[in-house]
A and B are shown apart, each in its own frame.
Chain A
Amino acid sequence: MQINLNGKSHETPEGTTIAGLIEQLNLADQACAVEVNKALVTKVNHATHTLSEGDTVELVTLVGGG
């Protein structure tokens, strides 16, 4: 299925959870926060939150800033 990930179209298997997506992207050991359709999904819910076709996902981290 297609989701929109960080502003780009992204193909991921049906039934992918947020934890699964993070795993696929090799980011499991990084600090990252996730928003699905503009709503924050906290880390404790990553393993149970299943993504749906057309979801808009933002996957963010901390960078240098003022």
Chain B
Amino acid sequence: MPDSSSTMTTHSEPHMKPLVVGERSFNSRLVLGTGKYASMELMKDALDASGTEVVTVAVRRERLYNEQGQSLLDFLDLDRYTVLPNTAGCFSAEDAVRVARLGRELLEQLGNPGASWVKLEVLGDKKTLLPDPVGTLEATRQLVKDGFSVMCYSSDDPISAMRIKDAGATSVMPAGSPIGSGQGILNENNIVLCLELLKQGDPDYPVIVDAGVGQASDVARAMELGADGVLLNTAVAHATDPVQMAHAMRHATLAGQQSYLAGRIDKKLYATASSPMEGAISYIPGE
């Protein structure tokens, strides 16, 4: 009989601190999008497998004249997930503010705690979907004035990130690489600088890497750099097996965070043996 206990550890997982964003607190540091899944059922299963507690959604025109298709809301457990409505597709501050207000109205109707926050995206260009730094700042200021908790999609430029925080954003969310590109984190130094500047004198300020994730190691890397969380969509939704990838993302988030907290060793140019040289019976060159 195989001993099933042989795979168990004698130490329990270290206690992980929750992700705190403004007034909100979550055990999972992964935020998942709900777009681009082959079916609503698959989305539901992937969200479940990811362990996420926060899901992003978009605000769009009701399809008045189409055959009534499946509604996202029929597949989203609103008691389980805090919904984070986005302003995706907005290319001006004015439009982003309108969409944010519509999203808040919808979530208030649904009684979801996500009503008072927004994932702000003000895009500057259709092809790259890179953020418009000026429009993003304008919209952040207006939405903060309107009482929103602003989760702000930003480029990985540390100074832009700082300006967005100064404008009152609850969290700055720098992109690892362009939305949906799957290129991972293209400029680790910039993410590190974003983290350093945003957390200067304010170590608990939440910084979430948003966009560009292609695989689980990208998530782990973001967490190892010291990010507070990762937001992703396409990497799971378009994986060959989205549910398995969602599991992988959950593990990667935890592994990356634990690796960051545990404190990595310094890099060295030369090897240092893990087995003692003393007592070796072999010939050792130079000795």
Q: Which residues of A contact B (CB under 8 A)?
A: 5-8, 25, 27, 30-33, 35, 38, 40, 42-43, 58-66
Q: With A5-B64, A33-B106, A40-B101 in contact, do A63 and B36 touch (Cβ < 8 Å)?
A: no
CB atoms of A63 and B105 under 8 A apart: no
Picked from A8, A33, A38, A43, the residue with its CB within 8 Å of the CB of B59 is A33
Does B98 sit at the interface, judged by CB under 8 A?
Answer: yes
CB atoms of B58 and A59 under 8 A apart: no
CB atoms of A60 and B60 under 8 A apart: yes
CB atoms of B61 and A59 under 8 A apart: yes
Q: Which residues of B contact A (CB under 8 A)?
A: 33-37, 43, 56-62, 64-65, 71-73, 83, 85-86, 88, 98, 101-103, 105-106, 108-110, 179-180, 211, 231-234
Q: Please give the distance in Å from A58's CB to the nearest CB on chain B.
A: 7
CB atoms of B98 and A62 under 8 A apart: no
The CA of A11 and the CA of B215, in the complex, are separated in Å by: 49
The CA of A35 and the CA of B57, in the complex, are separated in Å by: 19
Q: With A40-B102, A64-B34, A65-B86 in contact, do A25 and B57 touch (Cβ < 8 Å)?
A: no
CB atoms of A43 and B233 under 8 A apart: no
What 8 pairs across the A-B complex have the smallest Cβ distances?
Answer: A65-B58, A66-B33, A66-B233, A33-B105, A64-B34, A64-B35, A6-B61, A33-B102
The 23 sampled A-B contact pairs (Cβ below 8 Å) are A6-B61, A27-B62, A31-B73, A33-B102, A43-B108, A59-B61, A59-B62, A60-B60, A60-B61, A61-B59, A61-B106, A62-B57, A63-B72, A64-B37, A64-B57, A64-B72, A65-B33, A65-B34, A65-B35, A65-B86, A66-B33, A66-B88, A66-B180
Q: Please give the distance in Å from B42's CB to the nearest CB on chain A.
A: 11
Q: Across the two chains, which residue of chain B brings its CB closest to A38? A: B98
Q: With A31-B110, A66-B179 in contact, do A61 and B60 touch (Cβ < 8 Å)?
A: yes
Picked from B43, B59, B179, the residue with its CB within 8 Å of the CB of A62 is B59
> DSSP class of B's interface residues: helix, strand, loop or mixed?
mixed
Q: Please, which residues of chain A bring their CB within 8 A of the CB of B234?
A: 66
The CA of A63 and the CA of B83, in the complex, are separated in Å by: 11
Q: Please, which residues of chain B bring their CB within 8 A of the CB of A7?
A: 61
Picked from B62, B71, B85, B98, the residue with its CB within 8 Å of the CB of A40 is B98
The CA of A36 and the CA of B110, in the complex, are separated in Å by: 21
Q: Please, which residues of chain B bring their CB within 8 A of the CB of A65?
A: 33-35, 56-58, 60, 86, 88, 233
CB atoms of A30 and B98 under 8 A apart: no
CB atoms of A35 and B102 under 8 A apart: yes
Q: Please, which residues of chain B bring their CB within 8 A of the CB of A30?
A: 62, 71
CB atoms of B72 and A31 under 8 A apart: no
CB atoms of B61 and A62 under 8 A apart: no
CB atoms of A63 and B60 under 8 A apart: yes
Q: Please, which residues of chain B bring their CB within 8 A of the CB of A8?
A: 65
9 new A-B contacts, CB < 8 A, other than A62-B72, A63-B59, are A6-B64, A31-B109, A35-B102, A58-B102, A61-B59, A65-B34, A65-B58, A65-B88, A66-B58
